[in-house]
Amino acid sequence: MRKHLGAHLVLLGGGLIMVSPFVYQVLATFMTNDQITSVPPTLWPTEWDLGAYAAVFAQIPFLRQLLNTVVITVLTTVATLVLCALGGYAFARMRFYAKGPLFALVLTMLMVPGTLLLIPQYQTVQSFGWLDSFAGIVVPGLVNAFGIFMMRQFFLGLPRELEEAARLDGANPGQVFWHVMLPLARPGLSALAILTVMASWSSLLWPLVVVNSQDMMPLSVGLASFTGEHGTQFPSMLAASLMAMLPIVILFLVMQRRVIEGIAFSGLK
């Protein structure tokens, strides 16, 4: 501890600044709306009121919407991993017609502001008859440009010799990918998994536009409904968002070593 005293001081100080908004958020969930909106504001709950948490369960079908979020997140993550592994490998190691332009197209996806394609994408989903379904929420987001980019970098960082050896043994490219490269890609895939889980967990506008019933809403949309035309119920909103965050935080704590190793492997060229 003494050896890195300076580092600890900086990191701890910075860390406290980073989490202080959360400390306030946690405290505020135990306040009444009246206390949160008091002038001047107070920092410590006077009554330790649990009403905010009760209100969350009373107002939105929290568990049902949590389940929707889990389903959407799992479907998205599994599909993203498969597609990004395939695409990333193809872009990194295979030679094919129009590879450069196709990769540029994938990068373009990163540059498009989210709401720009809202209406044409909605019309497409509607023509498939996918409104108000998991398919409508999940499928348009399956091609994840960030993920393909990241997996491409990852495969570029792996040594070529292993593939060459497998090829000499008579394996076709599919077998090389499946037996040799995919196992090596595990750290990269776990990193991508956690990033995808996070993004899909909190996505708001697209599911909101596609879903037409209270019971199909993911939690992110249900939470947003605590903002009304004439003001927000602050404690319930904060409590609900805290409850929604919790699974992700736990997942991160469990996965963090893998995430970091995963990104390290790619070298990110």
* DSSP assignment of 28-49: HHTS-HHHHT-SS--SS-SS--
Nearer to another protein, 30 or 234 (CB): 234
Nearer to another protein, 53 or 201 (CB): 201
Strand pairing class (231-232; 227-228) = antiparallel
Q: Are 137 and 211 in contact (CB under 8 A)?
A: yes
Nearer to another protein, 3 or 44 (CB): 3
Residue 212 CB, nearest approach to another protein (Å)? 6
Residue 67 CB, nearest approach to another protein (Å)? 13
Question: 51 pairs with which residues across the strands?
Answer: none
Percentages helix, strand, coil for the chain, rounded to the nearest 5?
A: 75, 0, 25
Nearer to another protein, 48 or 96 (CB): 96
Residue 226 CB, nearest approach to another protein (Å)? 7
Q: Are 157 and 96 in contact (CB under 8 A)?
A: no
Residue 77 CB, nearest approach to another protein (Å)? 12
What is the CB neighbour count within 10 angstroms for residue 190? 19
* DSSP assignment of 151-215: HHHHHHTS-SHHHHHHHHTT--HHHIIIIIIHHHTHHHHHHHHHHHHHHHHH--HHHHHH--SGG
Residue 93 CB, nearest approach to another protein (Å)? 9
Q: What single DSSP character describes residue 115? A: G
- Residue 15 CA to residue 13 CA, distance in Å, equals 5
Residue 53 CB, nearest approach to another protein (Å)? 15
- Residue 247 CA to residue 140 CA, distance in Å, equals 25
Residue 61 CB, nearest approach to another protein (Å)? 10
